[in-house]
Amino acid sequence: MSIINEAAAAPSQLATALAAGVDDISSDQTVTFQQYTKSTIPTDGYVFWVATGSAQQFAGSLHILSERRQEEDQTLAANQFVFTAEEEVSQLNAIAPDSMWVGAWNVDGASLQVAFSATGMNYQQAGLWHYRGFAVYPALASQLIDSAADLPLGPIVSNSLPIWLGLPSQAAVYSPFGYAPIYPSFLVPDNVVPPYIAVHIDPSLTITQQAAPYFDWSARSNPNGDPSPLYDVPSFQLMRDTVKLMFYGFTNQQAIQFHAALMDYSVNSDDFGFGNSPAIVDDKRGQVEIAALAMKKTFVIQASYNSGTADAIARRLILSAGFSSVTVS
C-alpha cells in the first residue's frame, strides 16, 4: 500500500520541481495569444484569418530557433518556436478547423506572430505541455488581418479556378455537380469526409492562346486617374489551364455521370472547352492501419477559356455569397 502511495506522489513532486525550473529559466514569462477565425473567399477558396475575441495570456517558456534563408523570391529568418506551458492550453489542443490561436512575441524589436501546428513528447507526470510551430512567414502575413473590413472584395487568382469552384451552382441544370463540394488544392478544409472534389491547376502549365489581352477602358473616363471601383477595367485573353480534378468517394458510375455533365456544361455554356480527351483514372491512396484504399479518382483536363469568363463567374459567386464576398466560419 505504501508503494502505491509513493508512486502516486512522485508525479506531483516531479511536476512541482519542473514548474519551478520553467519559472526560473523563463523569468515567469507569459505569452499573449490572439484568437483568429477562418474566412474563405468563395470565388477562389483563398483563406484569410480574422482577429476575433479578446487576447489571453499563458505562462510558460518560449524557445526560439532561427534559420536564415535566401530563396528566389524572398530572404527571411525562419523562426521555429517551442512553447513549454505549465498547464494544458486547451485552445491549442482543440480540433477547430475554423478557429486558431496565434501567439505574439517580440524579437529584436519586431513582433512575430507564432502559429502552433504540433504538440507531443509530453509526460503526464511532468505536468508540462510542449507546443511546436513557426512564426508566420512574411509572404503569408497578409493572410492574418485585424478586421473583416480588410478582406479583399474580388477574386485573387488569375486562372480558371472560379469556373470549377462555380460548378455546384450549375446543379439545377447539371445535377451531378450538386453531388459533392469542390475545393481548391492545398485549401481543402480540415478532416473533410468524402464525397468531395479537389481542383489543382498546375501554375507552370497555364499558357496563353492569344498574343495579347484586350483591356476594356470604356467604363473609365480617365484611365490615368484615381483607382476605379472593382471590375472597371476588365480584360479578355484566351488561355489554357491543365486542370486536375481529384474525386474522393465517387463510384465509377458517379464519376461517369460527372464527366457527362461536364461535357454538357461545356457545350451549352461556352465557359470552357476541352483541349484533350480526358479519361477517368483510378488512383491509389491507402492507410496501413485499416488495410484499405480510398475511393480516389483523377481527371485531367486541358481546359481552354477566356479570362473574362472566369472573372464573370467570380462576380456571380460574389453576388451569390452576399455581403463582402466571403464566408466567415
Q: Where are the beta strands (DSSP E) in the chain?
A: 30-40, 47-51, 56-70, 75-85, 99-107, 110-119, 129-135, 144-145, 182-184, 196-201, 207-208, 214-215, 235-236, 238-248, 273-274, 281-282, 286-287, 292-293, 296-306, 327-328
Band (136; pLDDT cuts 50, 70, 90): confident
C-alpha span between 81 and 119 (Å, rounded): 12
pLDDT in tens, 191-241: 888 989 999 999 999 888 777 777 666 655 555 554 545 445 667 788 899
pLDDT in tens, 214-228: 766 665 555 555 454
Q: What's the chain's Rg over C-alpha atoms?
A: 25
Greater confidence, 42 or 140? 140
Q: For the chain, what is the domain count?
A: 2
First to last CA, the chain: 53
User: Which of 120, 150, 180 is where one domain is finished?
Assistant: 150
Q: Is residue 245 part of a domain?
A: yes
Q: What is the pLDDT of residue 40?
A: 85
Q: What is the pLDDT of residue 317?
A: 57
User: Which domain range does residue 36 map to?
Assistant: 2-150
Tell whether 244 and 321 lie within a shared domain. Answer: yes
Which backbone phi and psi does 289 adopt, to 5 degrees? -65, -30
User: Which of 119, 150, 181 is where one domain is finished?
Assistant: 150
Tell whether 135 and 235 lie within a shared domain. Answer: no
User: Which of 150, 181, 208 is where one domain is finished?
Assistant: 150
Q: Is residue 305 part of a domain?
A: yes
Tell whether 262 and 115 lie within a shared domain. Answer: no
Asked if residue 197 lies in contact with residue 283, where contact means CB atoms within 8 angstroms, the answer is no
Tell whether 168 and 311 lie within a shared domain. Answer: yes
Q: What is the mean pLDDT of the chain?
A: 75
Tell whether 206 and 284 lie within a shared domain. Answer: yes
From 53, 258, 229, 73, select the one nearest 154 (Cα to Cα).
229
Tell whether 256 and 318 lie within a shared domain. Answer: yes
pTM beyond 0.75: the answer is: no
C-alpha cell at 129: 505541455
Asked if residue 64 lies in contact with residue 106, where contact means CB atoms within 8 angstroms, the answer is no
Q: Is residue 239 part of a domain?
A: yes
Q: Is residue 155 part of a domain?
A: no
Tell whether 186 and 108 lie within a shared domain. Answer: no
C-alpha cell at 277: 480527351
Tell whether 165 and 272 lie within a shared domain. Answer: yes
Q: Is residue 188 part of a domain?
A: yes
Around Cβ 248, how many Cβ atoms within 10 Å?
A: 19
Tell whether 82 and 193 lie within a shared domain. Answer: no
**DSSP sequence for 198-256:** EEEE-GGG-EESSSS-EE--TT-S-TTSSPPPTTSS-EE-EEEEEEEEEEES--HHHHH
Q: Is residue 30 part of a domain?
A: yes
Tell whether 91 and 193 lie within a shared domain. Answer: no
Q: What is the pLDDT of residue 132?
A: 80
Q: Find the angle CA(232)-CA(42)-CA(199) to the nearest 5 degrees.
A: 110
Tell whether 138 and 78 lie within a shared domain. Answer: yes
Query: Pairing between strand 214-215 and 56-70?
Result: unpaired
Q: Is residue 156 part of a domain?
A: no
Tell whether 90 and 68 lie within a shared domain. Answer: yes
C-alpha span between 156 and 154 (Å, rounded): 7
